[in-house]
Amino acid sequence: MNEPAEKQQAFGRLLPELSAKDLENLARYFHVALEIAGQDSADAEPPFDIPPAISTLKERSSRNLKDQS
């Protein structure tokens, strides 16, 4: 199902309330979205930020006691 017309027909069966122009725009939208997702996954950077390790309550308490001394 690689042909644009076949994709529009499939969208038309799933969303019969959409017009032909709406189905064409939807197919185009998904095509662009998949291209962008493919470009993003090819980058070397991770897809999200990884926060630093959160210190435990015991570690924070020990640090506060050391600061007060």
- 22 by Cβ neighbours in 10 Å (0-12 / 13-18 / 19+) ranks as middle
What pLDDT, in 10s, does the model give residues 20-37? 899 888 888 988 998 888
Contacts of 34 (CB under 8 A, 6+ apart): none
Q: Cα-atom radius of gyration of the chain, to the nearest Å?
A: 25
What pLDDT, in 10s, does the model give residues 38-55? 776 655 566 666 667 777
What tokens does 28 get? 């185009």
Rounded Cα–Cα distance for residues 32 and 25 (Å): 11
pTM of this structure? 0.49
